[in-house]
Chains A and B, each alone.
Chain A
Amino acid sequence: MSKTVIQVDGLWKVFRDFWLRPRVHALKGIDLQVNEGEVFGFLGPNGSGKSTTIQILLGLQFPTRGKVSVLGSDPGSVECKKRIGYLPEDSVFYPFLTGREMLSLCARLSHVPKNDRDMRVEALLDMVGLTAAADREIGDYSKGMQRRIGVAQALVHDPALVILDEPTNGLDPIGVRQVKDWIRGLKKRGKTILITSHLLSDVEEVCDRVSILYGGKVQSEGAVKEILEHQGRSEWITQSPGEDQRKELDRAFADQGVEVFSVDTSRRTLEDKFLETVQSAREDGQETEGAEFGGQLPAFLSGPEESS
């Protein structure tokens, strides 16, 4: 049985004003459990309590009531901080530092061994496709490039738990695809990932389980496959049948008493078309000042039992 990485029981958070009068009841008794090696989606409309929950899990805010345990420790403890990687929703990086300096700073602040530091920074820059722009100041980066550097800094200390707040926010389709690939790659290496996003299709694609919040309460929770399953319906993708074959199939379904709701021509996604076009331009040797195609996850990102 897999270990529990995040355990939240009856979590309440009340924001108070200067006179300590209750101002906002952000969380009203949330229960949550995230297991090791799982990609967990944390969903909800604006103001539903997602960010507050994450801030509490990170130890930045203190719960009003309830129990929270992250990686077996109290949130905010040194042990816990050592093993968490976090990508904030807003770009909060120093605009006057270069991408390389920012990653190096994060590595130093996270006590990454000196002899490992440069190797990790270069590997992550390569992963996020920012090697060519590594010596430009972050203030000059586009929003998507800042997001990429954000992903890189979250991984620099090889964390066991990665919390990604809106990871695809501001990214181009190539970046979105890459982030999803990285998330899958991290899962394969046994990392636990908690994601919040408003792009539900992305969450659906990569998450094992999701929790949907509204009004500070968990409204629905479960495995993606289970909660999205349309009871009593199924989808087949086949080679396009000819007119006669189509009539034959309709008849066969009718004979068996199976109702057909819709039949449509299969189409590629716009994302696929976009990626194909950019890839083609790249192969033609056209240059860009922005982010390049990123690489694979670096080798230093270890499995859960090896990570510090």
Chain B
Amino acid sequence: MSLWISTPVALLLLWGLLAALQFVVRRGGSLAAVTEVMVAEVWRRRFLPIAGLILITGLVCLPFILGVDSVDPDDRRTLLQYGQGWTGLVTLASILVMGCSTLADERSSGRLGYLSLRPGLSYRWLPGKWLGMICSAMILLIPATWLLISQITDPEGRWDNPSTVLPVSAEQFSVTAEDVEFFLLLKLEESPLEWGQYSDEEGRARARQLLQREARSVALGATAFLDFTLPEGVVSESDSSDSMRLSLRPALGKAHRSRVARLRVSGEDFSRDLLVTNGQRISLEIPSGLVRNDKLSLEVKFLGAVAEEVVIPSLYWIDRNAVELQVPKGTFAESLIRSQLLLLARSAFVAALSLAVSTFLGFPVATLLVFCFLLAATGGGFVGAFEETGPQTMVDPRQESDSRKVIDLLALGGEKIVHSLRDWKLSSRAEQVSAGEYIAGQDVWGGVFRLAGVWSSLALLIGSFLLSSQEKSTGDDR
């Protein structure tokens, strides 16, 4: 769709949504009154119009800045990646500043004291403002989503809504407790001296580690079985023109970084030989006739390096998504809308956090604090980077000292906090949308429930408690 049409429509949407919202909240009670004032504040103080213009201008200019054409799948991915990034950045930054400035301004001007004289308002004030901020985020997100969707066109320049794929992981990588127990018993029989030195817990951890490594590797000449369980009815739902694909990204070891190896994928009356390169993703079409009762079983045989002088003993699936079956499901527009819903949930949480923090901090400090949170949460991927204590870890006598214990305790607390931020990290689905992946409904509702429901309610509850227990003034003389 032409930008000459979609841009004015986006601007009209921005304005129309605001008018519709004001019409709706004007009819409500005291909670709706607070929401209405919040929306009026961000609109009449030119905050929302300017944020909306920045957002829309950025999205409209993005294809020209990046020099991409949305017809090409790679360009389309780039455009969607940057477009969603820009939308997230502008929306979250706007909500952060809105949340921190509104309450800080009311506290410093004495308006908060004056308004809290209205009966029963203490516990409606933050939720009312929070709803207003969610509405503001929606007013920004809906036109942005419209612009992103309208920019995806087919080779003839018509609007396109390509189908997305649902990635299904292979089952054989999961190691059960029985597998661990059996393996441990076997090892204790085989080499009691080596395995007998570990405690039960250490032995199990080591056994699990070895099993997991083994399950993820295929030795030269050996065959690995890949079992996939597809979500119910997903094959019958998919369009016959879109077929399933098996996507593989094997690791051939450090010594064979640039080497090429052969791999055979087979199942029932189907067989294909593939040439794979170390760390490179490759995919092949899988006939849907191989699926029986929503289950698909494939065999992968590692045939070794192409070059005769090279010996590659095994290949290894490193990532969680190194082997996945891509089943056609849903459409791009559907996935984008779901991803934007998660962004709305993130905005809701940032709004609640900003409001809670600014009940006791001034605007600059509150903004800095929430900004630091966002940075920490965005870097939440380092959760798994903490050193794990395994059976091979030597116990340093200095670790037994009291000071070390205190440090360990603080580190543990820090880890718990960072770990709890994973809800934030996991609720970002922009990458998947740009990769053309399907966003499952349960991911969306789970994220919305955790971020916009549980965490936001907690933040608002704490904020409301702090607000109601504070002394206030109706002037700036105290």
Residues on A lying within 8 angstroms of B by beta carbon are 15, 51, 55, 58-62, 78, 81-82, 84, 86, 88-90, 92-94, 96-97, 101, 105-106, 108-111, 137, 165
Contact, CB under 8 Å: B475 / A81? no
CA distance in complex: A219, B476 (Å): 27
What secondary structure prevails in chain B residues at the interface with A?
A: loop
CA distance in complex: A94, B478 (Å): 20
Contact, CB under 8 Å: A60 / B117? yes
Contact, CB under 8 Å: A108 / B120? no
CA distance in complex: A306, B44 (Å): 39
Contact, CB under 8 Å: A60 / B113? yes
Q: Which of A59, A84, A96, A111 contacts B40 (CB 8 A)?
A: A96
Q: Is B111 an interface residue (CB 8 A)?
A: yes
Contact, CB under 8 Å: B33 / A108? yes
Q: Which residues of B contact A96 (CB under 8 A)?
A: 40-41, 44-45
Contact, CB under 8 Å: A58 / B110? no
Q: Which residues in chain B, 105-123, are within 8 Å of chain A measured between CB atoms? A: 109-111, 113-121
Contact, CB under 8 Å: A61 / B471? yes
Q: Which of A92, A109, A137 contacts B30 (CB 8 A)?
A: A109
Q: Is B155 an interface residue (CB 8 A)?
A: no
CA distance in complex: A78, B122 (Å): 10
Contact, CB under 8 Å: B118 / A110? yes
Q: Which of B45, B111, B118, B473 contacts A109 (CB 8 A)?
A: B118
Q: Which residues of A contact B478 (CB under 8 A)?
A: 15
Q: Is B212 an interface residue (CB 8 A)?
A: no
Q: Which residues in chain B, 91-136, are within 8 Å of chain A measured between CB atoms? A: 109-111, 113-121
Q: List 26 interface pairs A-B (beta carbons < 8 Å), by A numbering.
A: A51-B475, A55-B113, A59-B117, A60-B116, A60-B473, A62-B471, A78-B120, A82-B119, A84-B117, A86-B474, A89-B474, A89-B475, A90-B109, A90-B475, A92-B474, A92-B475, A94-B40, A94-B111, A96-B40, A101-B40, A105-B33, A108-B30, A109-B30, A110-B118, A110-B119, A111-B120
Contact, CB under 8 Å: A88 / B475? yes
CA distance in complex: A38, B191 (Å): 97
Q: Which residues of B contact A106 (CB under 8 A)?
A: 118
Interface size (B, Cβ < 8 Å)?
31
Q: Is B67 an interface residue (CB 8 A)?
A: no
CA distance in complex: A216, B210 (Å): 78
Contact, CB under 8 Å: B475 / A109? no
Smallest beta-carbon distance B102→chain A, Å: 11
Q: Which residues of B contact A90 (CB under 8 A)?
A: 109-110, 474-476
Q: CB-nearest residue of chain A relative to B121?
A: A109
Q: Which residues of A contact B194 (CB under 8 A)?
A: none
CA distance in complex: A139, B44 (Å): 12
Q: Which residues of B contact A110 (CB under 8 A)?
A: 118-119
Closest 9 CB pairs of A and B: A109-B118, A108-B33, A96-B44, A88-B474, A81-B119, A92-B111, A60-B472, A92-B114, A78-B119
What is the 8 Å Cβ interface bit string for chain B, positions 450-478, against chain A (1 contact, 0 not)? Answer: 00000000000000000000011111111
Q: Which residues of B contact A15 (CB under 8 A)?
A: 478
CA distance in complex: A70, B419 (Å): 50
Q: CB-nearest residue of chain A relative to B45?
A: A96
CA distance in complex: A108, B111 (Å): 17
Contact, CB under 8 Å: B37 / A105? yes
Q: Is B233 an interface residue (CB 8 A)?
A: no
Contact, CB under 8 Å: A97 / B37? yes
CA distance in complex: A90, B474 (Å): 7
Residues on B lying within 8 angstroms of A by beta carbon are 29-30, 32-34, 36-37, 40-41, 44-45, 109-111, 113-121, 471-478
Contact, CB under 8 Å: B33 / A55? no
A15, A58, A90 — most chain B CB neighbours (10 Å): A90
Q: Which residues of B contact A78 (CB under 8 A)?
A: 119-120
Smallest beta-carbon distance A20→chain B, Å: 13
CA distance in complex: A103, B93 (Å): 32
CA distance in complex: A134, B120 (Å): 27
Q: CB-nearest residue of chain B relative to A52?
A: B478
Q: Which residues of A contact B475 (CB under 8 A)?
A: 51, 88-90, 92
A15, A92, A106 — most chain B CB neighbours (10 Å): A92
New contact pairs (13) apart from A15-B478, A78-B119, CB-CB < 8 Å = A51-B475, A58-B474, A60-B474, A61-B473, A81-B120, A88-B475, A90-B109, A92-B474, A106-B118, A108-B33, A109-B34, A109-B118, A111-B120
Contact, CB under 8 Å: A61 / B472? yes
Q: Which residues of A contact B474 (CB under 8 A)?
A: 55, 58, 60, 86, 88-90, 92, 165
CA distance in complex: A81, B468 (Å): 14
CA distance in complex: A78, B124 (Å): 13
B36, B40, B45, B119 — most chain A CB neighbours (10 Å): B119
Q: Which of A89, A92, A94, A111 contacts B119 (CB 8 A)?
A: A111
Contact, CB under 8 Å: A111 / B117? no
Q: CB-nearest residue of chain A relative to B44?
A: A96
CA distance in complex: A183, B121 (Å): 28
CA distance in complex: A37, B349 (Å): 49
CA distance in complex: A19, B41 (Å): 36
Contact, CB under 8 Å: A58 / B476? no
Smallest beta-carbon distance B398→chain A, Å: 37
Contact, CB under 8 Å: A86 / B30? no
B32, B33, B41, B114 — most chain A CB neighbours (10 Å): B114
